[in-house]
Amino acid sequence: MEELKQRILAEGRDLGRGILKVDSFINHQIDVQLMVEVGQEMACRFNDAKANKILTAEISGIAPALATGQVLQVPVVYARKTRPVTMTGPVFVEIAPSHTKGRDVFLMVSTEFLGRGDRVLVVDDFLATGATISALVRLVRHAGAELVGIGTVIEKAYEEGRKELEAFGVPIVSLAVVKDVSDGEIRLA
């Protein structure tokens, strides 16, 4: 994904403490055409996984997950961080640390949208420490569903989260890999 890499280099900013700001095209303002391309690439990479659901975390993972779901023609379920009044039944709950919030967050999925027989592809915006994605995988397992892959838009390799995720034994795809951010410069793998 050459355009994604160019946008990271041109517009990304290292804010320190593990925060890579890409708000101009993914996390605050979304470049819709870029997300369409992300979805097409992600779907191409995971087409053989035969996922029937995509799971992501609220909120920044929704755009790439939705674009991927549109191409694969499968529903997207997102783990809520707060329980709305409409979530009346039982839920699966996990806790994950949030880099951007500076605290732990709850991730919740209603049992009516994730369960046995589901083949789940986890898609998120970032792979950093792997903590959020690991929490999503635990939700998949609580539901008795099968994890078929993990896809991320940007991986921060210097945070080594991939090592934690490799234990799940599924394909892991990152469309752009940042190998280092130091001296204010972003270096891609």
* CATH number for region 2-188: 3.40.50.2020
**pLDDT-derived band at 134, boundaries 50, 70, 90:** very high
The reported pTM is: 0.96
Q: What is the pLDDT of residues 157-180, one digit of tens each?
A: 999 999 999 999 999 999 999 999
Top pLDDT among 18 and 48 is at: 48
- Could you tell me which residues come within 8 angstroms of residue 12 by beta carbon, excluding any fewer than 6 positions away? 20, 21, 22, 178, 186
Q: What is the pLDDT of residues 41-75, one digit of tens each?
A: 999 999 999 999 999 999 899 999 999 999 999 99
Q: What angle do CA 28, 34, 37 make, to 5 degrees?
A: 140
Tokens 């939705």: give the residue: 66
